[in-house]
C-alpha cells in the first residue's frame, strides 16, 4: 500500500468543487510559489503519521495532511477573503462526505481540524487558506500483506 491515495483523494475533492485549481507540485513547501502564480493554486503536504492500533497483519494510522489554497487579491481584500473562505468551506465539506471515501479500503475517516486564513506578502492582497486534515487509514487489509 501507498500513502499516495491521500493526495489523490484531497486533489479530487478540490477539483470537484472548482476545476480551475492547479497543483503546485513541491513535496515539502509552497514558499517557492511565484508572486504572479497565486490564483487558484494549491499545495498538499502530508507526512506526519501516528499509529493508533497495530497487530501482526494491519495497522491503523492517522495522517496529518495540510492543504494550502492560494488566491490572488483584488481591490477589496474583504471580498476576496470572504470568497476564499467560502471555497475553503465547500472543500472541507466535500472532503468530509463519507460517501466520497466509503467504498475505499484505505481511507476510513476524514476530519478537518483547522481552517486558517493569512495574507501573503505581496502587493495585490493575495491570500493563503490553510486546511489541516486528520485522515484515518488502514494498511494490510488486502490479501497481500506486503505494506
Number of domains within the chain:
1
Residue 147, domain member (yes or no): no
Residue 144, domain member (yes or no): no
> Across the strands, what pairs with 110?
135
Q: Residue 82: which CATH number?
A: 3.30.2000.10
Residue 145, domain member (yes or no): no
Q: In what order do the strands lie in the sheet with 41-54?
A: 22-23, 41-54, 59-71, 127-139, 107-119
Q: Tell me the pTM.
A: 0.84
**Distance between CA atoms of 31 and 37, rounded to whole angstroms?**
12
DSSP single-letter state for residue 41 = E
Residue 146, domain member (yes or no): no
- Do residues 67 and 133 touch, judged by C-beta distance below 8 A? yes
What pLDDT digit, counting tens, does each position of 116-126 carry? Answer: 999 887 766 78
What pLDDT digit, counting tens, does each position of 45-80 carry? Answer: 988 878 777 777 778 889 999 999 999 866 667 888
The x, y and z cell numbers of residue 35, run together, are 508572486
- Domain that residue 55 falls in: 4-29+36-139
- Do residues 71 and 80 touch, judged by C-beta distance below 8 A? yes
What pLDDT digit, counting tens, does each position of 78-97 carry? Answer: 888 999 999 999 999 999 99
Amino acid at each position: 500500500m501507498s500513502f499516495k491515495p491521500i493526495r489523490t483523494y484531497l486533489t479530487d475533492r478540490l477539483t470537484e468543487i472548482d476545476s480551475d485549481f492547479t497543483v503546485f507540485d513541491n513535496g515539502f513547501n509552497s514558499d517557492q510559489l511565484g508572486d504572479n502564480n497565486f490564483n487558484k493554486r494549491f499545495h498538499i503536504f502530508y507526512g506526519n503519521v501516528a499509529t493508533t492500533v497495530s497487530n501482526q497483519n494491519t495497522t491503523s494510522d492517522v495522517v496529518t495532511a495540510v492543504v494550502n489554497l492560494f488566491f490572488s487579491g483584488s481591490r477589496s481584500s474583504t471580498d476576496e477573503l470572504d470568497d476564499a473562505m467560502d471555497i475553503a468551506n465547500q472543500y472541507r465539506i466535500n472532503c468530509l462526505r463519507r460517501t466520497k471515501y466509503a467504498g475505499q479500503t484505505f481511507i476510513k475517516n476524514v476530519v478537518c481540524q483547522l481552517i486558517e486564513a493569512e495574507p501573503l506578502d505581496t502587493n495585490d492582497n493575495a491570500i493563503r487558506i490553510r486546511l489541516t486534515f486528520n485522515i484515518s487509514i488502514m494498511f494490510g487489509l488486502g490479501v497481500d500483506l506486503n505494506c
